[in-house]
Amino acid sequence: MADTLVVSRKRRSWAGWKFVGPFMAVFALVFLAPIGYSIYLSLYRNRLIGGNSFVGLDNYTQALQDAQFWAGFGRVALFLVVQVPIMLILALLVALAIDSGRLYGKAFFRVTIFLPYAVPAVVATLMWGFMYGPQFGLVGNINDALNITLPDPLGGSLALASIGNIVTWEFVGYNMLIFYSALRVVPGSLYESAEIDGAGQFRIIRAIKLPAIRGALVIATIFSVIGSFQLFNEPAILRPLAKNVLTTGYTPNMYAYQLSFSGQQYNYAATVAIIMGLITMVIAYVVQLRGTREN
């Protein structure tokens, strides 16, 4: 990224702002202003008696001791540690398989596996939710056909895994495409000389392909980290099917949503959102640092 910051042979002038200006104006309105307002909100508290008053970091100390917040955080952290590696490794394997040129009908695979990305999270969750149904869904059909009783996919401990399955289904193809696009631009001559040197396929993957797409791996990981910490749509839409398991504070995001739109606790909701934002930024930064340092 940094090397493209160096612009050669270009006259320095204000002309560029004519192109960048409109984007930055809207960006300021929908990104910078809300971030600023959010920080402002998190430092105040609205009481029935006394109205709006400055409370310093009180909201933050309250959030850091809030068991419900940490329970939600624990769930998305577990989700991150289990679901993200499974999804990214699967995506990487498929990308390597398609790129190897050893598949019959590789164009078919490339498009088919990517298609779920175009399906809205709402529809994906509704579909999987129906299929999870033990009575009239696919799980129910399997139970009837084989005369067995599979555990309820949305029951207690399995619910998070079932949500992970939906998210994996949605984004495996998207990540595959990021990896595959990066693999496509590795010069073929590198493989040829490696093969002449007697390197096998797995060695070529480890020594040439993976280092060559390091940037794509880092970007995909950062996007996945952000996505995990923001987990909202899937559990929120599945909620009517399993109200006792998928509580209103199931993820930090659902918690913040519930605080503001059911509880009118905007200040506290902003605080929870900022804490999650800070944690996300720190982890994204660490991933980027590790990913680029190992060069």
Partner 1 sequence: MTTTVQPSAAAPTGAAPRARIRQDRRAPRRSIVLTLLTGVVAIYSLVPLVWLVINATKTQEGLLSSFGLWSNLRQTFTYDDGVFLRWLGNTVLYVVVGAGGATLLSTLAGYGLAKFDFPGRRAVFAVVIGAVAVPGTALAVPTFLMFSRMGLTNTPWSVIIPSLISPFGLYLMWTFSSQAVPDEMLEAARVDGAGEFRTFFRISVPLLGPGIVTALLFNMVVTWNNYFLPLIMLKDPDWYPLTIGLNAWNEQAQTAGSEAVFNLVITGSLLTILPLLAAFLLLQRYWQSGLAAGSVKE
Of residues 98-117, those binding partner 1 (CB under 8 A)? 98, 100-105, 108-117
| Least distance between partner 1 and beta carbon 200 (Å) | 12
Element (H, E) at 53: strand 51-54
Of the candidates 4, 53, 244, 262, which one interacts with partner 1 according to CB under 8 A?
4
Residue nearer to partner 1 on the CB measure, 151 or 263 = 263
Q: Is 150 in the site for partner 1 (CB under 8 A)?
A: no
Q: Which position has the token pair 């949605």?
A: 170
Nearest Cα to Cα of residue 72 among 236, 223, 222: 236
* CA–CA separation, 164 and 203 (whole Å): 32
Residue nearer to partner 1 on the CB measure, 83 or 233 = 233
| Stretch in the footprint of partner 1 (CB under 8 A) among 51-59, 73-81, 154-162, 166-174 | 166-174
Site string for partner 1, 43-82 (x = CB under 8 A): ----------------------------------------
| Least distance between partner 1 and beta carbon 240 (Å) | 4
Q: Is 178 in the site for partner 1 (CB under 8 A)?
A: yes
Q: Contacts with partner 1 in 235-274 (CB under 8 A)? A: 237, 240-241, 253, 256-257, 260-261, 266, 269-270, 273-274
- The amino acid that residue 122 corresponds to is V
Q: Is 216 in the site for partner 1 (CB under 8 A)?
A: yes
Q: Is 156 in the site for partner 1 (CB under 8 A)?
A: no
Q: Which position has the token pair 């869904």?
A: 137
Contact between residue 154 and residue 132 where contact means Cβ atoms under 8 Å apart: yes
Cα distances (Å, whole numbers) of residue 145 to 76, 130, 135, 141? 35, 17, 12, 6
Number of Cα atoms under 13 Å in the Cβ half of residue 178: 22
Element (H, E) at 44: strand 44-47
| Least distance between partner 1 and beta carbon 45 (Å) | 15
Q: Is 175 in the site for partner 1 (CB under 8 A)?
A: no
Q: Is 187 in the site for partner 1 (CB under 8 A)?
A: no
* CA–CA separation, 46 and 82 (whole Å): 39
Q: What are phi and psi of 211, to 5 degrees?
A: -60, -35
